[in-house]
Amino acid sequence: MPKLHKNVRVAFAQLSEGRGLLCRQFSRSDDATHRGENYLYFRVMDGKKIGTASAKFLIQEGLVKPCSDGLFEDTPQTFRTVSPDEFDDFKERYEAV
């Protein structure tokens, strides 16, 4: 059975501590271009970096929801975490596969 990666759990916890807001910012930095598809990810409250792979997983799996504040509708800049209960439900389903 797969386990939900520790970094994903830590990233979600860090976001939850920081009012639940994740920001995605376009960048041409090495980190952004090599791993983040030209994006960097950080916590809105204080700018604390959130790991690229973890942030992408959270977005892809719907564990953070777009706040529809981007320049274009399909490219939001800010995402809000789902509730801790929703996260726990996802984790349980993910690890049951």
Alpha helices (runs of H) in 1-97, residue ranges in sequence order: 6-17, 30-35, 52-60, 84-96
> Which domain covers residue 18, as residue numbers?
6-91
Alpha-carbon Rg for the chain, nearest whole angstrom, is 13
State residue 1's pLDDT score. Answer: 65
The C-alpha atoms of residue 40 and residue 52 are separated, in whole angstroms, by: 7
Helix (H) or strand (E) holding 21: strand 21-26
With respect to residue 96, please indicate whether it lies within any of the assigned structural domains.
no
**In which band, very low, low, confident or very high, does the pLDDT at 67 lie, cut at 50, 70 and 90?**
confident
pTM for this entry: 0.88
Query: For residue 97, is it within any domain?
Result: no
CB-CB contact of 79 with 73 (8 Å): no
Residue 64: inside a domain: yes
> Does the pLDDT of residue 93 top 70, yes or no?
yes
Q: In what order do the strands lie in the sheet with 21-26?
A: 39-43, 21-26, 78-81, 64-66
67, part of any domain: yes
